[in-house]
Structure 1
Amino acid sequence: MKAAVHKSTIPASQLFVIKELREKHFDPTWHAHSEFQLFVVLEGTGTRFIGDNIKTFKPGELILTGPNLPHLWRSDEIYFSKKSELLTHGIVIYLNEHFLGEKSLDKEEMIGVKKMFSKSMRGLEFYGERKERAIVLMKEITALNGLERVIGLLQILHLLAATKEYHFISRSSYPDPFKQVETARANIVYEYVIRNFRKKINLEEVACLVHMTPTSFSRYFTRNSNKTFSAFVGEVRIRQACKLLVETEQSIEEICYECGFNTLSNFNRQFKELMNDNPSSYRKRFMAL
């Protein structure tokens, strides 16, 4: 997997950049950049990694990430199959804090946007009616140009800055840019875990992939991810289990073993610790929606 530390996307001739993404799968690279990013998933499913948070994603998700917050929307494996006809679709907006000029966020009219940008250093996931209106506007401004596009962006920022319907995503912010070597290692590890979480994952083998001893790798991973490697693997497995509980009629025992757990008791315990619920009631709760 290629490594990317920063993805600077805003030309000097533009205030911001908006892109409509239509690909077989979303970019599978763990990366960060110096811009704020507003991203909506319109088609596609998979697992997202934002800061120290892991969660499955589906259409309708609207996320704002701040500068240097590493992230990855990893499409489900079926999207990488050569035989698959599935496609992903999303809209992404990149902008920096001075997109309206130096110190523009310090002006009285922009206080709400400034506060939202500050919160986005941990990532924000929006929900509710204002989120839906913002998504409609994002679709509309892809067809606009010039000042109309700028006005559309300001309307989106106004909607989101005024809502309280959001969740913080990462427990920590990442004020410093990721070093290239750290990004490269993370990409190797994340790719390996996503492809192999259904079976036993050997710490020594993963450490070897990034040319580290198991002890050094364990320390490195905990320091950079705010969780142990075993906790990370367990969280990937539980998030996949959540997806299967909601989207399939497989039994809980079948899901347990398909997601890489060796005993049902261990699966139930880890599920309860992460989701504050048991698999059975979790499934019933979502089936009732």
Structure 2
Amino acid sequence: MKLVFEKILPSDNLSWRYWLYEQENIGFHWHYHPEYEIALILNSKGQRYVGDNIDNYNEFDMAFIGPNMPHTWCSSLEVNGQKQHTYVAQIPKAWLEGLIYGMPDLASLKNLLTLSRRGIKFSKQAVVQAAKIFAKMEQEDATSRFIGLMDILHIMDRDQDKQVLSSDGFKLTTTSDPSTEKIDKAVRYIHEHYTDAICANDIATLLHMSTNHFHRFFKHHTEQTFTEFVNQLRISKACSLLINTTKPIYTISDTCGFNNISNFNRRFLQFKAMKPSEFRKIYTGKNAVLV
């Protein structure tokens, strides 16, 4: 399968991306991106591909993968009838290296970054410890998630049984493909027009694609449908306004591109599992001061 560039965007109110996938099996998706990645997989069995390394993995697996290292997992169907869980942390290169190389407190993690250029796998004990932190992050605020991320990096660094994966001589011959410019253009357009009545046909025309082709292209490169991506961006912007301003909720709904307050409330509940008013009550004063 062709190597694909994947576009990564940070999660709400984070400098990095935290994500949990729940699925019946993991499909082969050979890809790369400029971010560091921690991937922790539970209740799954199959093959892990990192650079030129192919290895079997069992129900507890975690890897730390450096920038632009091709990778994927590929699993069989459900184990014991349960969904397979994949926790992912994707961390911008400049941000993470700025922290670790800029703070003597984190100097011990420098070698971890170096090893990650070949990919690293970890012991079951380290995976179990990290899994507890990843699971807890689901209900945590941005500050607690940052602390959790540092804890996971510390666990990985202290794991005496970690092993590098890809050979020292493996190099990605190219870090670009024709689709990279197109997906960047699409994402940039969405960010510039998310407050409008944006539609997939507009971007398909911009990229000289049919609308159906664009939908497949976008899902392949972002792992989200076009509609999911737009709604998530709008909800992310709404969360920031709910926390950092005293604007009425109906004004925030309109500002973020929702056509009516009912649709806004429905989408907010879908992504945040709570109403906008409940979100504001919980997070106001915790992450920011109202202006």
TM-score range, shorter chain: 0.5 to 0.7
Amino acid at match of 1:61: D
Q: Which sits farther off after the overlay, 55-64 or 90-99?
A: 90-99
For 2:62, the equivalent position in structure 1 comes to 62
Aligned length: 178
Residues 85-119 of structure 1: per-residue CA shift (max 9 Å, x gap) = 66322111111233368465232112122220111
Q: Answer yes or no: is the 8 Å Cα contact 2:133–2:148 preserved in 1.
A: yes
For 2:46, the equivalent position in structure 1 comes to 46
For 1:95, the equivalent position in structure 2 comes to 91
Deviation at 1:124, TM superposition (A): 0.4
Q: Answer yes or no: is the 8 Å Cα contact 2:100–2:110 preserved in 1.
A: no
What root-mean-square deviation, in Å, do the aligned CA atoms of Structure 1 and Structure 2 show?
A: 3.0
Deviation at 1:13, TM superposition (A): 5.1
Q: Are 2:129 and 1:137 equivalent residues in the alignment?
A: no
Deviation at 1:39, TM superposition (A): 0.8
Identify if the C-alpha distance between structure 1 residues 169 and 182 changes in structure 2 by more than 3 Å, giving closer, same or farther. Answer: farther
Amino acid at match of 2:164: F
Q: Distance in 2 between matches of 1:126 and 1:164?
A: 9
Q: Are 2:175 and 1:178 equivalent residues in the alignment?
A: yes
Amino acid at match of 2:94: H
Q: Answer yes or no: is the 8 Å Cα contact 1:2–1:29 preserved in 2.
A: no
Residues 143-182 of structure 1: per-residue CA shift (max 9 Å, x gap) = 2112111111111112212332201111135366534389
Residues 171-222 of structure 1: per-residue CA shift (max 9 Å, x gap) = 1353665343899xxxxxxxxxxxxxxxxxxxxxxxxxxxxxxxxxxxxxxx
Q: Answer yes or no: is the 8 Å Cα contact 2:3–2:30 preserved in 1.
A: yes
For 1:160, the equivalent position in structure 2 comes to 156
Structure 2's unaligned 5+ residue stretches are 181-291
Q: Distance in 1 between matches of 2:71 and 2:62?
A: 14
Amino acid at match of 1:37: E
Amino acid at match of 1:167: Q
Q: Answer yes or no: is the 8 Å Cα contact 2:9–2:17 preserved in 1.
A: yes
Query: What is the TM-score with the length of structure 1 in the denominator?
Result: 0.54
For 1:108, the equivalent position in structure 2 comes to 104
Amino acid at match of 1:107: M
Q: Answer yes or no: is the 8 Å Cα contact 2:20–2:85 preserved in 1.
A: yes
The answer to which structure, 1 or 2, has the higher relative contact order (CA under 8 A, 6+ apart) is: 1
Query: What is the TM-score with the length of structure 2 in the denominator?
Result: 0.54
Q: Are 2:119 and 1:123 equivalent residues in the alignment?
A: yes
Deviation at 1:132, TM superposition (A): 2.5
For 1:32, the equivalent position in structure 2 comes to 32
Deviation at 1:128, TM superposition (A): 5.0
Q: Distance in 2 between matches of 1:130 and 1:88?
A: 19
